[in-house]
């Protein structure tokens, strides 16, 4: 298990560099932090007397039990996955909206609106609009 944790920690920076974590520049995941400590504790002391599963329990309640309570108890696994998917999409959408507010929007005047449907594939004299900008029609 220690070898697998080493592989995870060697490659975990990819999630930060590719922007998967959004604004966060860290990967402080409580279970990932507690796991090596538990391995070290078991290796050097045997099973500790004061070892508890409190971290796992405290994370299990909001991550699993709350999702289960939001289902109708029929095919709850599928419903829980849909809820997780929906929460993730909402998170990404709000991150996009936050980014969009920081970038600003490009407004198109009425005389420029004819370029919206223009095919730029054959035209060499005009450049296509910048795809990185958001367009808001006034």
What is the Cβ-side half-sphere exposure of residue 26, based on CA atoms within 13 angstroms? 5
- Could you tell me if 60 and 105 lie in one domain? yes
SS3 at position 131: coil
Helix 2-11 and helix 30-45, axial crossing angle in degrees, nearest 10: 150
How far apart are the C-alpha atoms of 43 and 62, rounded to whole Å?
30
Give me 33's structure tokens. 């932090």
pLDDT, tens digit, 9 for 90 and up, residues 38-65: 777 777 777 654 556 666 677 677 778 8
In-domain check, residue 17: yes
Whether residue 34 is predicted with pLDDT greater than 80 in this model: the reply is no
* Domain enclosing residue 62, as ranges: 56-113+131-138
Q: Which residue reads 């290796």 in tokens?
A: 43
Q: Tell me, yes or no, if the pTM score tops 0.85.
A: no
In-domain check, residue 105: yes
Instruction: Return the beta strands (E) in the chain as ranges.
Output: 106-108, 135-137
Contact 2, 39 (CB under 8 A): yes
């Amino acid at each position: 298990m220690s070898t697998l944790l080493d592989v995870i920690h060697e490659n975990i920076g990819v999630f930060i560099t590719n922007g998967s974590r959004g604004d966060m520049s860290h990967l402080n995941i409580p279970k990932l932090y507690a796991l090596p400590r538990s391995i070290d504790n078991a290796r050097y002391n045997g099973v500790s007397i004061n070892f508890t599963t409190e971290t796992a329990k405290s994370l299990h309640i909001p991550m699993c039990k709350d999702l289960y309570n939001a289902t109708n108890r029929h095919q709850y696994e599928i419903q829980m996955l849909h809820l997780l998917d929906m929460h993730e999409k909402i998170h990404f959408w709000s991150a996009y909206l936050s980014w969009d507010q920081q970038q600003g929007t490009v407004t198109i005047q009425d005389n420029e609106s004819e370029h919206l449907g223009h095919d730029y594939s054959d035209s060499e004299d005009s450049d296509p609009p910048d795809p990185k900008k958001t367009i808001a029609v006034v």
